[in-house]
Chain A
Amino acid sequence: TEITDLPARDSLNPGSLQLVSKFKNPSSSCSVDVSAVWWERAAAKEPCIITACEDVVSLWKPLDTLQWEKVHTWHFTEVPVLQIVPVPDVYNLICVALGNLEIREIRALLCSSGDESEKQVLLKSGNIKAVLGLTKRRLVSSIGTFCNQQVQIMTFAEDGGSKDEQLLMPPDETILAFAEVQGMQDALLGTTTVNNIVIWNLKTGQLLKKVHIDDSYQASVCHRAYSEMGLLFVVLSHPCAKESQVFGSPVFQLLVINPKTAQSVGILLCCLPPGQAGRFLEGDVKDHVAAAVLTSGTIAVWDLLLGHCTAVLPPASDQSWSLVKWSGTDSHLLAGQKDGNVFIYRY
């Protein structure tokens, strides 16, 4: 069993991030993702960390001393791991997307109940364009492009076992990303390659509306949406946005949509504070906070209710950040580097 470095608890970071714990995944391949999930061991559910490198995915459980112990590893020898796909409300199961540049497979990782040995099950294969784990133990994926696209919801049993499948009506446009709607469990959003936001009814599979959004920023990606007072508030990122002299580089945008009329207005542009540069590289949105890794190697955090950047985390130990995720088990921020270092901050 590998036990990680001692954590540091007293370091204060710029803004409102406080370092709680850190560890290094000693894998030799490139670190590609990190996530926090609930995992059940000996009839108790624990908040665990999942790390993914190109050829191995590891589950780390917390020890009393804020150290982390590696308890399970799954190995991938044929196709490299691209991302972790957490599925909320399912314990003892994590999904991963595998592929080279694009996703070719989605696999479920679990342990057999008898000897606790690691197992992996192939769930989907093909030209997978987007995948997202949803509340109520659901996983949505889109396979194919344009008219040959299949959008499918898979529902897991509570123990990760038997599953049910349902098709959603495809939009005849290639889907870039999916986003859940907070406060409306039966609604799902997707962004497409032609800058449309599509809205589905997950219960019936109906495609309810297509909303064309401002063409100022191409290839916008939806991260999360909120339903309030008959309107949809959608958080988009703009990986392809060019820097402008007036606003700097817009990293996230909060857009309000009237689903009835398909009209939309941008209400908040999350730009970098003065002195910071870079474009959106990858990011995560949870509740009212949005975090992004920038091309400069810095992490920036915005409070969407306050409407401004609340924390900037420069590269640590002379190494750029490459990953940022909000924990699914508490209010922590997970920040990762390519060499396997994972830092856990309290926000």
Chain B
Amino acid sequence: CRTADLGPISLNWFEELSSEAPP
């Protein structure tokens, strides 16, 4: 898999998206 095509990866994506998304 060419992970470079996918942009920066975060192991904590679920928590980060939950804090950014509208409640």
Residues of A with C-beta under 8 A to B22: 169, 206
How many inter-chain residue pairs (CB < 8 Å) link A and B? 64
Q: How large is the interface on A (under 10, 10 to 19, 20 to 34, 35 or more residues)?
A: 20 to 34
State whether the Cβ of A308 lies closer than 8 Å to any Cβ in chain B.
Answer: no
The yes or no answer to A176 lying at the interface (CB within 8 A) is: no
With A and B bound together, what is the CA distance between A265 and B8 in angstroms? 14
Interface centre among B6, B10, B22 (most CB of A within 10 A): B6
**Is the pair A265, B21 in contact by a Cβ cutoff of 8 Å?**
no
Question: Pick the contact of A260 from B5, B17, B23 — CB < 8 Å?
Answer: B17
Taking a contact as CB atoms under 8 Å apart, the answer to whether A256 and B1 are in contact is: yes
Quick one: given A186-B14, A187-B14, A201-B14, are A263 and B21 in contact (CB under 8 Å)? no
CB distance from A196 to the nearest CB of B (A): 15
Please give, as numbers and ranges, the residues of chain A lying within 8 Å of B10 by CB-CB distance.
Answer: 230, 260
- With an 8 A cutoff between CB atoms, is A314 at the interface? no
Known A-B contacts A256-B1, A265-B1, A265-B2; A208 and B9 likewise in contact (beta carbons under 8 Å): no
8 Å CB contact of B23 from A204, A258, A259: A204
Q: Is the CB of B18 within 8 A of A206?
A: yes
B9 to chain A, nearest CB (A): 4
Tell me the minimal C-beta distance from B23 to chain A in angstroms.
7
From B18, which residue of chain A is reached at the shortest CB distance?
A201
A259-B21 in contact (CB<8A): no
A96 to B17, CA, bound (A): 34
Q: Tell whether, in the assembled complex, residue B7 and residue A208 are in contact, meaning their CB atoms are under 8 Å apart.
A: no
Shortest CB-to-CB span from A169 to chain B, Å, is 8
A267 located at the interface, meaning its Cβ lies under 8 Å from any Cβ of chain B in the complex: yes
- With a cutoff of 8 Å between Cβ atoms, the chain A residues found around residue B23 in the complex are 204, 206
In the complex, A207 Cα to B1 Cα: how many Å?
27
Q: Which residues of B contact A204 (CB under 8 A)?
A: 18, 23
| A268 CB to nearest chain B CB (Å) | 10
B6 touching A264 by the CB < 8 A rule? yes
- Other-chain contact of B6, A169, A186, A231 (Cβ < 8 Å): A231
| Contact present for A184 and B14 (CB under 8 Å) | yes
CB proximity to B under 8 Å, residues A137-186 = 169, 184, 186
Give chain A's interface residues, CB within 8 Å of chain B: 169, 184, 186-187, 199, 201, 204, 206-209, 227, 229-231, 256-261, 263-265, 267
